[in-house]
Amino acid sequence: MVLQKGTSYTFSQILELNSETDEILADLGYRFCNAPLELPTEEIPRRAQLGPLRAQMRERLPYVPLTNEAAYRSFYAVPVLFAALDQFRFKMNIAYPVAGGRLTGTVDFLLRGGQDLVVAGVRSEALARGFQKLAVQMVSVSEYTAMPTVGPKHPRRAQKAERTRRAREAGGQSRLAQGGKTQVYGVLTAGPIWQFGLLERGEKRVTKDSETFTLPRDLERLVEVFGGVLGERRDKPDGVRREGER
């Protein structure tokens, strides 16, 4: 056991443990796997608008030293997210505080639309360990958004809601999952490299996509996935298949 029983952790404390992702997730009650995901996509309505962004990335890169997370975020993450927002409308929360289950901290971006999408940025050399940061943030967001919202003026109602939440969790259910959002998506951005993840609430499983997207080459494909995850289409499949699954 990596995490001390009954102890709460910040995201930074989790990363300081220097433990494997599967061990940390197991202590949080989740399974971990690495597999190629067939991510949902949505056709870009204004594809021509992405051409200038791709050209700007190529032209500006030699003149912008990417030496820290702030530089990666400014050069890659923010322009891409706003490009996706221009194509598909969704809510984009920046530096969003969450406290779910045993985890607390601030996520770089929390995008909310048809599904929830957590965006976590790391330095390119930290990509291998970076998915751990994304995974614990996805778990925290999942448990945070599944908690009943009750005003502070009604402590008895809050206590009743908390008992209801615990009973549902014991039965493998949550309020949010019953409402249709059975998944939380995540994407790790390490400069030009982007890697997706998927948290499935019912199975309590986190999957790391074994494939990656590279900018500026895969800009359109990346934005199409944002549309598939965050768009409001009603005919999208409920689950994401792994390759080979039916």
Residues 120-174 have pLDDT tens digits of 988 766 777 889 999 999 999 999 988 654 444 444 544 554 554 455 444 444 4
**What is the per-residue pLDDT across 30-70, written as a single tens digit (0 to 9) for each?**
999 999 999 999 999 999 999 999 999 999 988 988 888 88
**Could you tell me if 197 and 208 are in contact, meaning their C-beta atoms sit under 8 angstroms apart?**
yes
Model pLDDT, residue 163: 52
Q: CA-CA distance, 103 to 43, in Å (whole number)?
A: 36
Instruction: List the alpha helices (DSSP H) in the chain.
Output: 11-16, 21-27, 50-60, 69-72, 78-87, 127-145, 155-170, 175-178, 219-230
Q: What is the mean pLDDT of the chain?
A: 84
Contacting residues for 109 by C-beta, under 8 A, at least 6 apart: 77, 81, 92, 93, 94, 96, 118, 119
Model pLDDT, residue 203: 95
Model pLDDT, residue 68: 81
Q: CA-CA distance, 106 to 21, in Å (whole number)?
A: 19
| Predicted TM-score of the model (pTM) | 0.82
Model pLDDT, residue 155: 47
User: For residue 244, is pLDDT > 70?
Assistant: no
Q: CA-CA distance, 146 to 206, in Å (whole number)?
A: 17
**Could you tell me if 228 and 39 are in contact, meaning their C-beta atoms sit under 8 angstroms apart?**
yes
Model pLDDT, residue 198: 98
